[in-house]
Structure 1
Amino acid sequence: MAEPVTICICTYRRPSLFEALASLEHLRLSEVEVAAVLVVDNDVTDGLRTEVARWAETCRFPLRYHYAPAQNISIARNAALDGVETRWAAFIDDDEVATADWLEELYAGADEAEAVIGQSVAQYGSALPGWAARCDFHSNRITGRVDNAYTSNALIDVDFLRRKNIRFREELGRTGGEDTLLFRQLTESGGRIVYRPESVVYEEVPPSRASMTWVFRRMYRAGQTHGLLSREYDASGFSRLGLTAGAKALVSAAMTVATLPGSDASRRWAARSALHFGALSYRVRPTILEEYGAKPKTRPSK
């Protein structure tokens, strides 16, 4: 018999939260039960409380509001984990909408794993530059090792995390990469991860993110996160990271020029170059770019 699931949405000043909630109203549920929807507000004030309470009056599922201030996504996600009263928690972002079969497809992998990951598919409006959709830097899919995972579409065995004392690292709550580290901790503790691309959520890309500047920052930070993971779980690889990341960065930079700057191929090589330069920078100085702070910063990683 299927175990109940709590759907968790962490939010920070995004009106799209209510589009995400609306999409849950249309879930097809035959093999899984939704016990509750938990909204965790990470803003400096609890201004959403009244609006969420109003929404709860007609919501298909029991809707709970939790206030977790600090503008730190790790604090919000840990608050979600603490507030879950079921074994399973399904995470979706506040700027995503779920397809009708999202949760059913996600839960279909639960028997084989302690975490199940679906795909987050970016949608590009006609006003955005054409290269954004063709290069598709914004979608989340697993293409390499399965623990290179994310919480934008994830089902997690919360009981397993509690037994193993696995939490989102708060020092990464403004940088990003906290979810990647959590899933690495999960597998290092004996947990299994299954990727189910059949489980789909959609995210509309705003114009502010449809720029190569945004892509460079995101890829550079992802490279720094790779450096952190290497330092914590692959000592020999970390010792060679200066050489390997440096070589890959230079090759990628050369290919960026060789493939006609401004072309889609050149943009993809430039993104790879930013990734490898991020890893190289972490090897030289272990800090991570603060993506979500008020100003661009770097924050030392522990």
Structure 2
Amino acid sequence: MPAIWIAIPTFRRPDRLAHLLKTLPGVAGRHDVMVLVADNDPHGQDGAAVAQQLQADGYALPLTLLTVGQPGLCAVRNAIADAALSDPAMRFVAMIDDDEWPQPGWLDALLICQAQVGADVVAGPVDSCFVGHPPRWARETLVFRPEERPWGATPMLWASNNLLVSRRAFAMIDAPFFDPRFNRSGGEDLDFLARLRNAGARFGWSPDARVSEWVPVERARLSWVLRRMWRIGCTETMARRKALPGRAGTAKLLARSLAILALRTAGLTAMLLPGARRVDIAGQWIKSWGRLYALAGGAQNHYGAL
């Protein structure tokens, strides 16, 4: 039985999903690999149709299809975890999003880092691939730059769009692994990883385990980038607020958020300097306001079937 599950949650991106699935056999064509496609659109099921067509055409990897009727990020990720854990042969779940595709050596690099570091969870960089001709600032802004850090053990990971999770890691925390409170807001992966860190999980980073992500034209716009920074501020604070409950925790987060806002406000003057990364400076300022919005009880609903 396959020991490595490549898990793909999908929602109304059939063309992107097809590209990812067609790429996988050449990059992760191992005898111990299977692919799980979890379609989170019970009405259209375009992703399911893509997976079924590839199966009918003799897809080169074992492919399982899962339809998740409950909408939302946590619902589909928990369904994936439950399905994988139900197979006693499963040792690792490799998570990748449906608008991404792996670069050569991706899976092997994750597994090598896991083995050598003794990591419970390993991640790698995500490179942006722009559709069309974006403005120069879009290629340079923090939102679209891949995270870079040294190979090996690392104290914390931040996202699940390029992540290898061991069976042992799932056993370290209680279900639901992805808290339904983040179902429509995002931030469920940050909460998942923070709980693993608090449970003593060991993290690894592999610079060679790279995936590429499509950046459509509508995302390479200033309005989208600034909204993205706002959402990051909101979801980071939601996750931290869960870890610091009660009035004392809220007061601590409020003091921290106000201090960061003051710092970012003072830093706005740097936008006047030649060569300044103005979008990043403005984005960090807006992210600070997103933190305060979350602390005030504001909710964000950006994801999930409609």
TM-score range, shorter chain: 0.7 to 0.9
**Structure 1 vs Structure 2: percent identity of aligned residues?**
26
Deviations for 1:161-213, whole angstroms, at most 9, x for unmatched residues?
Answer: 14532411122121110001001111111211111122100012111111222
* Aligned with residue 109 of structure 2, among 97, 105, 110: 105
SS at match of 1:55: helix
Residue 266 of structure 1, aligned match among 252, 268, 278? 278
AA aligned opposite 1:37: V
Q: What corresponds to 1:124 in structure 2?
A: 130
Question: 1 or 2 for the larger relative contact order (CA 8 Å, sep ≥6)?
Answer: 2
Q: Is the 8 A contact 2:241 2:253 kept in 1?
A: no
Separation in 2, partners of 1:262, 1:122: 26
Deviation of 1:99 (Å): 0.9
Compared CA separation, residues 126 and 207, structure 1 to 2 (3 A): closer
Instruction: Give the CA RMSD over aligned residues.
Output: 2.6
* 1:87 corresponding residue in structure 2: 91
Whether 1:44 aligns to 2:42 is yes
Q: Is the alpha carbon distance of 1:270 and 1:226 closer, same or farther for their aligned partners in structure 2, counting shifts above 3 Å?
A: same
Which ranges in structure 1 are unaligned for 5 or more consecutive residues? 296-302
**Corresponding residue of 2:18:** 18
Residue type of the partner of 2:53?
Answer: R
For residues 287 and 33 of structure 1, what CA distance do their matches in structure 2 show? 47
Larger strand percent: 1
Q: 1:72 to 1:139 in 2, by over 3 A?
A: farther
Query: How many corresponding residue pairs?
Result: 290
State yes or no: 1:55 paired with 2:54: yes
**1:50, CA displacement in angstroms?**
3.7
Residue 286 (1) aligns with residue 284 (2): no
C-alpha distance in 1, partners of 2:229/2:37? 29
Choose 5-14 or 217-226, whichever is displaced more: 217-226
Cα separation, 1, equivalents of 2:71 and 2:217? 23
CA distance in 1, matches of 2:189, 2:72: 13
Q: Compared with structure 1, are the counterparts of its residues 123 and 147 closer, same or farther at alpha carbon in structure 2 (3 Å cutoff)?
A: same
Q: Which residue of 1 aligns with 2:216?
A: 206
Q: Which runs of 5+ in 2 are unaligned?
A: none
Separation in 1, partners of 2:75, 2:305: 17
Secondary structure at the residue paired with 1:127?
coil
| TM-score normalised to structure 2 length | 0.85
Who is 1:231 aligned against?
241
- In terms of fraction of residues, the more helix-rich structure is 2
Q: Secondary structure at the match of 2:212?
A: strand
Pairwise CA distance, 1:237: 6.4
Do the aligned partners of 2:119 and 2:203 also contact (CA within 8 Å) in 1? yes
Structure 1 stretch displaced more, 244-253 or 285-294: 285-294
8 Å CA contact 1:5, 1:33 repeated in 2: no
Shift of 1:231: 2.4
Give the match's secondary structure for 1:240.
helix
Task: Summarize the Cα distance change of 1:6–1:129 in structure 2 as closer, same or farther, 3 Å threshold.
Answer: same
- SS in structure 2 at match of 1:175: coil
- TM-aligned CA distance change 1:293 to 1:262, over 3 Å: farther
